[in-house]
A = this chain, B = another copy of it.
Amino acid sequence: MPHALIEVRRRWSEDEEAAIIDAVHGALVEAFQIPAHDKHVRLVVHEPHRFACPPHLHEPEFATLVSIDCFTGRSLDAKRHLYAAIVDRLTELGIPGDHVSIVLRESPVENWGVRGGRAASDVDLGFDVTV
């Protein structure tokens, strides 16, 4: 159920953009054990002058922000796993690991509207949030 947003400054090819999306989604499947079909990932490509980043980055065009809305409840270990998995997978695509900043926004299950407008707390999600 997570909604992930990836923000980049660099122009990537369409194939590379798909790979970036799959990198973040794959990390969520691996670390948070969400179903593979539970895919809600958007990529926003900012004009560089509209995306200010730390001046000390040596390759500022690779600055990447990842924001993930998810259910409350994952363990610190699952979060550690997620951050490492995202960075590992993005590094393989040429993005320096220290150019990636990630934030998890946790909201309780009742704050999600799913399956035709029902509160997620009223349905059987089919997976475990307490990983």
Chain A contacts to B: CB under 8 angstroms = 1, 3, 7, 14, 17-18, 21-22, 25, 37-46, 49-56, 63, 65-67, 69, 76, 79-80, 82-88, 97-98, 100-107, 110-119, 121-122
Contacts and interface: CB of A to CB of B under 8 A. Distances in A.
A123 to B, nearest CB: 11
Q: How many monomers of this protein are in the complex?
A: 3
Nearest to A102: B113
A104 B18 CA distance: 27
Contacts of A102: 112-114, 117
B44 A50 contact: yes
B43 A50 contact: yes
A32 B3 CA distance: 23
